[in-house]
Amino acid sequence: MPVPLAKKNTAFSKLIAKLDASAEHRAGMAEAREWVAKEVLVEEGDTLRTLRLKRNLNQTQFAALLGTTQAQVARLEKGNTDPQRSTCKKLREVLGISADKLEEILDRQEKAYELKAKK
């Protein structure tokens, strides 16, 4: 019987957390995140996900900086939620971007979400 997706994701998240916590693997994890953002997700352009990865943050770490949950970060990155003004302010502060840049990113993500939803 196949393992439920939620259990697979939990196991993967635990592995990533273990690697992040390891002094031996920390630098490699940082390089991997940056590589994913620059090479694999290059066609996305700047998104919350690519900017987060370039800053070597996983969703849980990013959520802690924003004062929210990992699940909320996932929704923000997916583009299917409209963040509150206070969240937008925190996003700009943590990512070091302007309000105009954040609006551009959120618009791009919303359009990408809508295209995926149509498929």
What pLDDT digit, counting tens, does each position of 33-51 carry?
878 877 777 677 788 988 9
Query: What contacts 74, CB < 8 A, 6 or more positions away?
Result: 59
State residue 41's pLDDT score: 72
Query: What whole-number distance in Å separates Cα of residue 89 and Cα of residue 95?
Result: 10
Q: Which of 26-30, 33-37, 42-46, 100-104 bottoms out in mean pLDDT, i.e. has the lowest?
A: 42-46
CATH assignment of the domain containing 98 = 1.10.260.40
- Residue 40: give the domain boundaries: 5-118
Domain count along the chain: 1
What pLDDT digit, counting tens, does each position of 2-16 carry?
555 555 567 777 887
